[in-house]
Structure 1
Amino acid sequence: MAVLSGPLISSFFVFMILMSNNLMYSGFSQPTCKPAYPKDAIPVYKEDVDMMQFPENLEFLEAEFFLWAALGHGLDRVAPYLVMGGPPPIGAQKANLDALTEKIITEFAYQEVGHLRALKSVVGLFPRPLLDLSAKNFAKLFDEAFGYKLVPPFDPYRDSLSYMLASYVIPYVGLVGYVGTNPTINGYLTKRLLAGLLGVESGQDAVIRTYLYERAEEVVHPYNHTVAEFTIRISELRNRLGMCGIKDEGIIVPLELGAENRTTSNVLSANYYSLSYRRTPAEILRIVYGTGNEHVPGGFYPRGGNGRIAKSFLNKS
């Protein structure tokens, strides 16, 4: 009888392990990884398209803001096929970021490119709207939040903390918009798209809020206000512009707004039941236009948003 030795023994045992694994699973059907949708389910309802295209206004804004800050250029270089002929943003520039913050924002930037690709594949893209990402526009927004002109004017591109405070302004609006959109769509493919987008937008917002919460008591140079104060003022401004009560909270809150009324820390913004707040397209436009009026463009969208929903509000102005 032949005797196995050396490398032959090792090969023999590897072979036996593989065979035992195959035998172990041979009694089971082949595993499936695709979700089992109902046989007659509709992937995308006609009515879903407008509702899922509306958030593209926010996705374009986030993509350009993150790309320019991290890389010094935007969609026109990274993914020109996604701009659909829309004009380049106003005033976007490279931010003065430290290594950690730059890595975070670079990841966010490419995530937003992926979001636009996903939206294009399911509901189609409209042309990128004209976006104002200038330091001057952000300075105006922060002045309005504090009720007076900050000196010097707030510059989101100045340093990492300033940039993350400016980033606090944007993804959360998209997050609550997706929560509000969810009950209005029906197709299984559009629901999957929304859930995937909402998951990542929520993650981005959580990273930004955690970053700022770690620095809550730090005074933002050269202003005599802490990081926590900045977040509270921005959240209060968005609530005023949205005009539908409290749907936005800073990183520090009174107990009555904390989780189960037991925390003043507010790393995640949520309602009485610790569920994400939700907003309608009209509320979102009031906020991102900075006018408090969904019919009057301005702020990040000097000419208003694109898509049937945003255009319908402009046509009624």
Structure 2
Amino acid sequence: MGNSYSFFFALVCLVVLASTLALASAYCGPIKADDRDRLQFALNLEFFEAEFFLFGALGLGLDALAPALAGGGPPPIGAQKAKLDLVSRQIIEEFGYEEIGHLRAIITTVGGFPRPQYDLSPQNFARVFDRALGYKLVPPFNPYLSTVNYLLASYVIPYVGLVGYVGTIPDLANYPTKKLAASLLGVEAGQDAVIRALLYGRAYEKVHPYNITVAEFTNSISYLRNELAMCGIKDEGLIVPLQLGAEQKTETNVLSADANSLSYARTPPEILRIIYGTGSEYEPGGFLPKGANGRIAKSFYKV
């Protein structure tokens, strides 16, 4: 990458991140909830990851592999087996099995609820990517079409779960739930790191057939999540200005973290704003067209 491109990309990052700060207008403080409700809220993301990873690798979801955990909830809309290279397929398959374990661990510890309705269709992902880029991609983005497309779509998911656990753990009152959440966080962070590392190896490659690099896609997705959550910069792409790099000494950003290289944290309302795609915890949509389940999510439902 030439110096001029590096400077231009860093400048774009600065403008994008500065504008994100101006969007921090929604409530960003703590919410009242007990340990059970906080851990159950995480099921909304664990179900999401389980279905997306299992279908992506195997073409099968919870209804085939662990139906009891789905609790009778509706199957995801439009989930498909992805065209993955062998190594990526094996990694994603492992992630899917890990998510089954996460669901079992949470449900066994604090109880669960039926799997909510997810929209994992190519059309829904296309809408997300169009919004992230600011215009309609032609042809529409399809997460199941190739390895790089699927990894970019996967970039959307585990990180949201990671920052959710970081935000939840300090508010948990009991040791068993703290221990479980910390264990879940460790694996979520690992999944996110693997996905980011795989994408970083392709950072400056153009994603076919678009004239857009992998790094530019990740920056746009991270910006969209910051915009939707409306609580400042808590998400960064694979390449950042030096001012945002580790110790302000690198533009590489394989792990998204703050000025002290600590993980960012998000609250349940922030997470709902992102996965609903509406920027409002009161307005379901996006990946959860009928809304999330659990007491915390339902407390925001409009009467």
One-letter identity of the residue aligned with 1:117: R
Q: How far, CA to CA, are the matches of 1:113 and 1:152 in structure 2?
A: 34
Q: After TM superposition, list the pairs within 5 Å mapping 1:219-298 onto structure 2.
A: 219-298=206-285
Q: How far, CA to CA, are the matches of 1:290 and 1:69 in structure 2?
A: 22
1:169 aligns with 2:144: no
Q: After TM superposition, list the pairs within 5 Å mapping 1:59-74 onto structure 2.
A: 59-74=46-61
Residue matched to 1:179: 166
Residue matched to 1:132: 119
SS at match of 1:176: helix
Q: How far, CA to CA, are the matches of 1:92 and 1:190 in structure 2?
A: 31
Q: What per-residue deviation string (whole Å, max 9, x for no partner) do you get for residues 39-65 of structure 1? A: xxxxxxx92100110010000000000
User: Which ranges of structure 2 fall in alignment gaps of 5 or more residues?
Assistant: 1-32
1:315 offset after TM fit, Å?
3.6
1:301 aligns with 2:288: yes
1:294 offset after TM fit, Å?
0.6
SS at match of 1:143: helix
Q: What per-residue deviation string (whole Å, max 9, x for no partner) do you get for residues 118-159 of structure 1? A: 001101111100000000000000000000000000000001
1:314 offset after TM fit, Å?
1.0
Q: What per-residue deviation string (whole Å, max 9, x for no partner) do you get for residues 223-259 of structure 1? A: 0000000000000000000101100000000011100
Q: How far, CA to CA, are the matches of 2:261 and 2:85 in structure 1?
A: 33
Residue matched to 1:212: 199
Q: How far, CA to CA, are the matches of 1:166 and 1:47 in structure 2?
A: 32
SS at match of 2:56: helix
- TM-score, normalising length from structure 1? 0.85
SS at match of 1:263: coil
1:186 offset after TM fit, Å?
1.4
User: Which ranges of structure 1 fall in alignment gaps of 5 or more residues?
Assistant: 1-45
Residue matched to 1:310: 297
One-letter identity of the residue aligned with 2:142: D
1:85 aligns with 2:72: yes
Q: How far, CA to CA, are the matches of 1:86 and 1:315 in structure 2?
A: 22
Moved over 2 A (4+): none
Q: How far, CA to CA, are the matches of 2:179 and 2:166 in structure 1?
A: 13
1:109 aligns with 2:109: no
SS at match of 2:301: helix
Residue matched to 1:3: none
Q: How far, CA to CA, are the matches of 2:90 and 2:37 in structure 1?
A: 34
SS at match of 2:72: coil
Residue matched to 1:188: 175
1:313 offset after TM fit, Å?
0.7
Q: How far, CA to CA, are the matches of 1:205 and 1:60 in structure 2?
A: 16
Residue matched to 1:200: 187
Q: Count how many residue pairs are aligned between Structure 1 and Structure 2.
A: 271
Q: How far, CA to CA, are the matches of 2:112 and 2:65 in structure 1?
A: 16
One-letter identity of the residue aligned with 2:179: R
Q: How far, CA to CA, are the matches of 2:167 and 2:54 in structure 1?
A: 27
Residue matched to 2:134: 147
- Alignment RMSD: 0.8
Greater RCO (CA < 8 Å, at least 6 residues apart): 2
Q: How far, CA to CA, are the matches of 1:59 and 1:198 in structure 2?
A: 11
Q: Percent identity?
A: 68
Q: How far, CA to CA, are the matches of 1:146 and 1:83 in structure 2?
A: 34
One-letter identity of the residue aligned with 1:212: L
